[in-house]
């Protein structure tokens, strides 16, 4: 226990409790690929700068490549006694190439090493999540195209408000997801600077080339301040913020799946692959996948809050508190990836019931706004007067237990004499939906135009990848 790689500073080793609280290898081992990428770039730079010999650099690179192969094959044995992924790799490198392994850590610290690894990992994951968002957007765009003419009730306060196209409803989530995609890419752009070479906190006296290592690792540039390099975790906070917003959007869609799949609505039929039965009630089809997506938003938001609390009081530069940055990020980004995959699969196979949607679209006097607009447009009433007259007609229809378009013309004219037979042209839900032609409106032709725009957007990103 006393043979620690941090050297001779401590005469005796920490006890079991200290090892338990201090070790991070249980979760940071997933950074192995990023750690080895960073080490290979660092070794290549050290050779190019004449800081280590070409022979030593070749040995280090060969040893690291062997370790990577062992880890990818699941043949590497991780040791808690070695604390973290960095020390595990360095110890194995020493077993393979001897004392030369010690030259790899020239001009760097575990502080800039872990900051580099973490940025690489978050960057890789953001790319993966962005691709998943595009996939889900494609599923929803296809649904919108297929249902541009399918009419459903639009809601405010979960009360019928105005009829809309189901395709338009789907495109609302496409808009949300496009902003999620943008936030992830914005976060990626800001994190894409390399901390490698900042060392512990003050930089190094060795003649290193930080621009070379940054370029080798796909970063836009090296970070500009060594203290900020090792202590900044706002890139992780920004990634989690974007993830939390995206998870919230997924949760809203999941909630609608749960609600609209109930017999009370009957708008959706849950796919077998994303629902479960009951252990006691054979008739049940439970929306478990949607409910779990809804719940996992809490886990993701909690990870964001947790990292804010960790970071809020830390003085510069590095503190061991920052070891608590990774588990929450790993868990949140894993959860979001799973939710995106589940939502794409569920929406792709979700059954849609246009008949139930159409029947519900006419309930709750959902074309009342169209009636008021007609009174403004055709009868010349100020909108407030038209609103008052429409309210009186709604009250009359309620009293007669009929729909607005089932009131007689005489009934209509008893409220306002200027009403003509033309009023009935706007009182059907079909005409109501078709009339909403303003940019961003629900008219089916609008929906088809927006579908085409989103298909082009997705195609451009597919080509860009």
Active-site amino acid positions: 157, 278
d(CA 107, CA 205): 8
Q: CB of 278 within 8 A of CB of 284?
A: yes
CB atoms within 10 A of CB 16: 9
Nearest to 193 by CA among 209, 173, 217: 217
Nearest to 406 by CA among 398, 418, 415, 416: 398
Q: CB of 298 within 8 A of CB of 244?
A: no
φ, ψ dihedrals at 99, nearest 5°: -65, -20
Angle 234-260/326-349 helices, nearest 10 degrees? 30
Q: How far apart are the first and last CA of the chain?
A: 48
User: Exposure of 69 by Cβ count < 10 A (0-12 exposed, 13-18 middle, 19+ buried)?
Assistant: exposed
CB atoms within 10 A of CB 168: 25
d(CA 242, CA 340): 14
């Amino acid at each position: 226990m006393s043979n620690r790689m941090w050297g001779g500073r401590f005469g005796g080793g920490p006890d079991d409790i200290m090892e338990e609280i201090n070790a991070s290898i249980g979760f940071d081992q997933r950074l192995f690929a990023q750690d080895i990428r960073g080490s290979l770039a660092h070794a290549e730079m050290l050779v190019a700068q004449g800081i280590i010999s070409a022979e030593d650099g070749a040995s280090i690179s060969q040893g690291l490549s062997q370790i990577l192969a062992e880890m990818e094959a699941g043949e590497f044995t991780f040791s808690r006694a070695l604390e973290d992924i960095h020390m595990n790799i360095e110890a194995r490198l020493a077993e393979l190439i001897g004392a030369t392994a010690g030259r790899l850590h020239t001009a760097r610290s575990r502080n800039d090493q872990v900051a580099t690894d973490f940025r690489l990992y978050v960057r890789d994951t953001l790319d993966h999540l962005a691709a998943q968002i595009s996939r889900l957007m494609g599923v929803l765009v296809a649904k919108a195209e297929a249902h541009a003419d399918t009419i459903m009730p639009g809601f405010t306060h979960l009360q019928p408000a105005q009829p809309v196209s189901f395709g338009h409803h789907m495109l609302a989530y496409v808009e949300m997801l496009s902003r999620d995609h943008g936030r992830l890419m914005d976060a990626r752009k800001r994190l894409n600077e390399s901390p490698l070479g900042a060392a512990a906190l003050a930089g190094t006296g060795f003649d290193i080339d930080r621009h070379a290592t940054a370029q080798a690792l796909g970063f836009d540039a090296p970070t500009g301040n060594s203290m900020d390099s090792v202590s900044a975790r706002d890139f992780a906070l920004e990634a989690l913020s974007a993830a939390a917003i995206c998870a919230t959007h997924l949760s809203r869609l999941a909630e609608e799946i749960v609600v609209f799949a109930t017999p009370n609505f009957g708008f959706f039929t849950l796919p077998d692959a994303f629902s479960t039965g009951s252990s006691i009630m054979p008739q049940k089809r439970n929306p478990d996948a949607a409910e779990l997506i809804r719940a996992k938003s809490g886990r993701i938001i909690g990870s964001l809050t947790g990292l804010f609390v960790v970071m809020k009081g830390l003085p510069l530069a590095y503190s061991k508190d920052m070891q608590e940055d990774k588990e929450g990020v790993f868990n949140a980004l894993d959860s979001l990836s799973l939710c995106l995959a589940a939502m794409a699969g569920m929406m792709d196979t979700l059954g849609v019931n246009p008949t139930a949607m159409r029947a519900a679209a006419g309930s709750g006097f959902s074309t009342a706004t169209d009636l008021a607009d007609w009174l403004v447009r055709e009868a010349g009433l100020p909108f407030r007067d038209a609103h008052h007259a429409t309210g009186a007609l709604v009250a009359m229809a309620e009293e007669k237990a009929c729909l607005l378009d089932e009131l007689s013309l005489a009934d209509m004219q008893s409220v306002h004499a200027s009403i003509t037979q033309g009023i009935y042209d706007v009182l059907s839900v079909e005409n109501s939906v078709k009339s909403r032609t303003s940019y961003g409106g629900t008219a089916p032709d609008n929906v088809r135009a927006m579908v085409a725009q989103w298909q082009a957007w997705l195609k451009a990103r597919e080509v860009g990848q």
